[in-house]
Structure 1
Amino acid sequence: MGRYCSRVFTLVTLLLVLDNSGVEQEREALLQLRRSLVDPSGLLSSWEGRECCRWEGVNCDRVYGHVINLQLLPQPTKDETSTYSHMGSKLLLACGELNSSLLRLRYLNHLDLSGIDSNHGRIPEFIGSMEELRYLNLSFANFYGMVPQQLGNLTELEVLDLHNEYENLVVDDIPWVSHLQSLKYLDMSGARIVNKRVLMQVISMLPALSHLSLSGCRLHNFHMSSNHLANFTSLVHLQYLDLSSNHFEGPIPSTLFQNMTSLQHLDLSYNSFNLSIPMWFDKFTSLAHLNLEENDIGIMYQVHTLYLNDNLLGGILPSSLCDMELFNLNLANNSLSGSIPDCWKGSLSFLTLSFNKLSGVIPRSLGSLPHLTTLHLNGNHLNGELPQALDYCTDLVILDLGENDLSGRYKRIGLSAIG
């Protein structure tokens, strides 16, 4: 019995030694990575000493102490994202290709290199060997050239973010994406996709996908034809879809969207869609954000945020707008005419109808919007006196009524209504 216990103790001791050796290798791998980066802001100044799990941007398994999460730069706020590439170039700069010491982080499942400046380096093929990865973010990192097909080996991957600017990245052979069967989040915005012919078919083979961003990928109507969307309606779990800044034109195709009934966010801005918004949009009962800026289309259904500014919308404002559960409504810079409907109610806080051809009086029902903070009616042909009911809009901060033919005063702040 004593001999058995001794052997067990020896085995446990050996395992602990080997495990500690592995942790020490991970620490050395991180130090090699640091030595390959220029860090003028001292973001990685904490990367010294024996306890690498306490280093900035490094998270470890609580039981065995292995590195499982590496994020070199802090995540930007939403407002900073558009300038992340510029911010990153000032913080961390890669000297040559990314150091392959990352391969020694055998337990790493979360790798975030977003915002670093790779100095036009290529995405290294060895990342495709890090098969424990579930999260990979290479966005705005100034990578250049072909996206390696080896990323298709990351079959456990749930998040892949390759968002970049200026078409620095090229996706030459898209079918490797179909191997990522666990993928829930895919962002390839700004990438130049060479083999677009099979793009939609490949994406339709991702059963768990809930977030898809393909903004600025030079997609056009060819990719929305029925031949290329045969199985695209299988994306029933898709909640977020961004197809902005592409080359789509004509009517919005029902083939692409009508079965995506889980959509919460749809961005089709900066394309050339025209005609009216299809009535089958009312099937999107979960849709909370719809962006159709800079298209040529005209008016719609139920969402919380509706931006249709800078289009070619004509006709009158439908009273059905009053029945929508809107928080933000922007219809500025169109050709809308007639009077403003007098039926407003609900939680609307932002209303912009400026620079249209609207006429008549300002409706009294606007005073039934207790949460209204911003009201732009400037640049129309409105006349008459300001309704006293506006005094009930106690949260109103911005009121712009210029370039109209109005009279009266907004008593709460004594603002003259002149145009």
Structure 2
Amino acid sequence: MSGMSLPLIFIIFILISLCTKTALGFPSGTGADNIQCMEREKQALLTFKKGLIDEYNHLSSWGINEDCCQWRGVRCSNRTGHVLGLNLQVTNTIDPYQPDYMPLRGNISSSLLELQYLNYLDLSLNDFEFKQLPDYIGSLKNLRHLNLSYDGFSGKVPYQLGNLSKLQSLDLNSNYQMYADKLEWLSHLSSLRQLRLTLIKVEHAFDWLQVVSELRSLTDLQLGSCGLPSVISAPISLVNSSKTLIQLDLSFNSLPNSSIFPWLSNLGSSLVDLDLFGNRLQGPIPDYAFSNMTSLLHLDLGYNPIVGPLKSFGNLCSLKTLSLNTNNLIGQLPQLFSYLSGCSKHTLETLVLNDSFLSGSLPDFTLFSSLRELQLQNNNLNGSFPKSFGHLSNLTILDLDDNNLSGSIPDLSVFVSLKELRIRDNLLNGTLPKKSRKAFKA
């Protein structure tokens, strides 16, 4: 260091200073300390605020500070000062009876169109009192993220949203008075990765399967309780499509087998979470339906008139949660467990089989080394607890209510992890030790 010239030391100091500024979010050489929002965009935000009813002063900082980039929920570019993001989600609850539910109300002003660089807009969890979603939202051409969920909008989903060609995430969840007669406009959103339309009525959108299959970047699709119309069969054009899906929710749609199984079989190995609760999936499940889902962790087939056998689940080698409650399985529980005793026996953590017309005795559960939650309520099970039952020391929840089990209550002291035990309305004898009663809910 002693031999280093003074100018060289000075240059190193300057370089370190510039790097430090960059690390703190200030681009080097831009004078970022002095960058403020554009006057035109600031006035647009103030006009937007005037259209809102802010009973709880969420936007109290708007107008006090001259720089709108410092206002609550506003994010600006450090380089240009343009408004890039607007996040006015003002509550973390969706229950209007909770004291911390304090939504904004009023109207969405067209002044937002002045924010030409806006790429993020989140107005979720507010209350727009069943007003129509304005179609000029579709003119915010740089939007990549749009969240208007739980906002109380009504009427037709504006097809102009299809103009948002850069959109990666669209969330209209739970605006239950909204509807869409067609979904063709979605096909223009080629960059879409997340689509959430739960409770948006689309019973006349017969193009839904064709449209979502064309969204080749889609990873998260939520169409629960949408009234999806049936599809007679999956068109040939859908083969090898929708390979990127990770999460898929089609619950509460009353879809029959013919509408869904051919398409599901082509979804590929990326799917992790699949919810088909509350449909009309009748009869046995075809072996091909889930054969490609090698990454599947969670599968919900509850409230479907499915019957056994269920041979295909045992080969789902990543499966952690399987729910088949309220079906017509009508079979022997030991037989069902033999179907599950493929590679899934090493991964399965939660198994829900309530109200499924199952009979027979309790099988040897010890093959399922990862099992944490077992629900068998309201079946026709009989017999006594097997001797091997005490080896399930990892169980946290066991529900055997409303069966015909007999014999003595087993020694529960070995269940060191058990938090909930339900064994009411059986033919068991004996009492729970006081120590056990205090350890978990019974």
> TM class, shorter-chain normalised?
0.7 to 0.9
2:116 counterpart residue number: 106
Match of 2:9 in 1: none
The equivalent position to 2:419 in structure 1, one of 397, 402, 410, is 397
| 1:266 equivalent in structure 2 | 274
For residue 245 of structure 2, the aligned residue among 213, 233, 238 is: 238
Question: Hey, which of these two has a bigger chunk of strand by percent?
Answer: 1
Distance 1:57 1:187 in 2: 23
Question: Displacement of 1:295 after TM fit?
Answer: 1.2
Superposed displacement of residue 165, structure 1: 4.0
Q: Compared with structure 1, are the counterparts of its residues 69 and 409 closer, same or farther at alpha carbon in structure 2 (3 Å cutoff)?
A: same
Alpha-carbon distance in structure 2 between the residues aligned to 1:86 and 1:122: 26
Q: Which residue of 2 aligns with 1:32?
A: 47
SS in 2 for 1:333: coil
Q: Aligned runs of 1:156-167 on 2, under 5 Å?
A: 156-166=166-176
Distance (Å, rounded) in 2 between the aligned partners of 1:173 and 1:252: 18
Provide closer, same or farther for how the CA distance between residues 368 and 64 of structure 1 changes in structure 2, counting only shifts above 3 A: farther
Amino acid across the alignment from 2:409: L
Match of 2:84 among 59, 68, 85: 68
Greater CA drift, 49-58 or 176-185:
49-58
Q: Contact between 2:354 and 2:378, CA under 8 Å: does it hold in 1? A: yes
Instruction: Return the letter of the residue paired with 1:319.
Output: F
Structure 1: how far apart are the matches of 2:258 and 2:243? 22
Match of 2:337 in 1: 319
**1:49 — aligned with what?**
65
State how far apart, in whole Å, the 1-side matches of 2:365 and 2:139 are: 61
* Mapped partners of 1:198, 1:393: distance in 2: 52
Matched AA of 2:337: S
Structure 1: give runs of 5+ residues left out of the alignment: 1-14
1:201 to 186, 202, 210: 210
Deviation at 1:144, TM superposition (A): 1.7
After TM superposition, the score normalised by the length of structure 2 is: 0.81
In 2: Cα distance, 1:236 partner to 1:207 partner: 7
SS state of the match for residue 270, structure 1? coil
1:387 positional shift: 3.2
Q: What is the CA–CA distance in structure 1 between the aligned matches of 2:436 and 2:35, rounded to whole Å?
A: 73
Do 1:88 and 1:116's aligned partners in 2 also have CA atoms closer than 8 Å? no
Residue 383 of structure 1 pairs with residue 391 of structure 2: no
Deviations 1:48-71 (A, max 9, x none): 322322322222223333221111
1:350 Cα shift? 1.5
How does 1:2-21 map onto structure 2 within 5 Å?
none
1:89-142 deviation per Cα after TM superposition (whole angstroms, max 9, x unaligned):
851111xx4101111112211001112222222222221111110001111211
1:117 is matched with which residue? 127
CA 1:84/1:369 → structure 2, altered by over 3 Å: closer, same or farther?
Answer: farther
2: CA distance between counterparts of 1:54 and 1:358? 64
SS at match of 2:283: strand
Report the residue type matching 2:375 in the other structure: T
Q: Indicate conservation of the 8 Å contact 1:84/1:140, yes or no.
A: no
Seen in structure 2, the aligned counterparts of structure 1 residues 132 and 175 have a Cα distance that, compared at 3 Å, is same
Distance 1:51-1:362 versus aligned 2 partners, 3 A rule: farther
Q: Aligned in 2, Cα 1:383/1:239: closer, same or farther, shift over 3 Å?
A: same
Unpaired segments ≥5 residues, structure 2: 1-29
CA RMSD of aligned residues (A): 2.8
1:296 paired residue among 295, 301, 305: 305
Q: Displacement of 1:342 after TM fit? A: 1.0
Return the match for 1:357 from 362, 375, 380: 380
Q: Residues of 1 paired with 2:202 and 2:129: CA distance?
A: 22
Give, in whole Å, the separation in 2 of the partners of 1:88 and 1:155. Answer: 36
Using the alignment, how far apart are the partners of 1:233 and 1:348 within structure 2?
34
Which letter does structure 2 place at the counterpart of 1:286?
S
How many angstroms does 1:88 deviate by? 10
**CA pair 226-250 structure 1, distance change in 2 beyond 3 A:** closer
Which has the higher mean CA deviation after the structures are superposed, 195-204 or 244-253? 244-253
The alpha-carbon deviation at position 85 of structure 1 amounts to 11
Counterparts of 1:211 and 1:151, CA distance in 2? 18
CA contact (8 A) 2:36 2:69 kept: no
Cα deviation digits, residues 297-317 of structure 1 (max 9, x gap): 135414211221122221012
Percent of aligned pairs sharing the same letter = 38
Match of 2:283 in 1: 275
The answer (yes or no) to whether the contact 1:26–1:66 under 8 Å persists in 2 is: yes
